Structure 1
């Protein structure tokens, strides 16, 4: 049996074996040393010889290629390499009895309690996080309580461009570039009234459609 195998990536290639184990809380990775496959080196030599001489040696070369395909999935050699990698990397990890996940000892393990920081956070760090979260919430609440629109004219339709000079404006009643009024009056085609509000669909004086 090979333990500690639910949190790793297989980085092995045709030349040898390598695995990367990761913490299930912070995601930090720990990569095992690359071990070259001596058998694959010998079979690579056979393939080279087979390409030169053909015949039986070439058949052995094709068998080597099939072995390479099988090796990419599961093989006793890979099991041995994985066992060695587990022995190399496992001292840097600890399995939490609370959640069952594998945690890196350097960052995500609480030695005082014997559990991971997800199950048993360090008190001082948790207090600091709670204080920061409360401070952030209070800042947002105070910002909501402030009247940020007391100087904003919401009764006049905002204009992106001045109808007189065409300069882009941020709103208000008059253009900051030419001083022209940004509230263009709507003239009634029937009676000529200009007393209608922006957005009106019918004239307030004659009832005609604007």
Structure 2
């Protein structure tokens, strides 16, 4: 039984998606199994019925179902995509690209007022919440570590310093 089934599956596969042998080759392979003409005839009918649901692309030689077939061109949709669908997809890509470019330009304008040199702590060390660079944690209110600068010379002050080491101004 396993040999007959294996030969039948191999014959059907080569007919539908493989080497492209004809129905007679598949039926001849099963007839040699000597399991009776009724089974062979039933299998031959099944192959004939399946052939009506698939088209063979002359360009790439793939077998495809009717959903993947362009009947106007006589080719599969991989070789001959639907023009209207491709135009719609290209239009959507163009819209997305345009919106992306405009959003990028708006971000560049907003970035002009952002001080990129100021170090920011992005995660609260106390509760691990995302801080988005604020001075205090929005979840627990913990004061975040930020570099303090001298009000006179604007040099960075070390933590706990009472006086600026650069100019001597009291903190």
TM-score, normalising length: structure 1? 0.45
1:116 aligns with 2:76: yes
SS in 1 for 2:156: coil
1:76 aligns with 2:33: yes
Q: Give 1:86's aligned residue.
A: 47
Which of 72, 95, 98 is the matching residue for 1:138? 98
**Unaligned 5+ runs, structure 1:** 1-11, 25-74, 187-194
Question: How far apart are the structure 2 equivalents of 1:96 and 1:197?
Answer: 75
1:154 aligns with 2:111: no
Residues matched between the structures, number = 129
Higher relative contact order, structure no. (Cα contacts within 8 Å, ≥ 6 residues apart): 1
1:113-142 Cα deviation digits (max 9, x unpaired): 211112222222221122122222222222
Q: Greater share of helix residues, 1 or 2?
A: 2
Shift of 1:185: 4.6
Structural RMSD (CA): 4.3
TM-score, normalising length: structure 2? 0.53
1:65-88 Cα deviation digits (max 9, x unpaired): xxxxxxxxxx7369x586554323
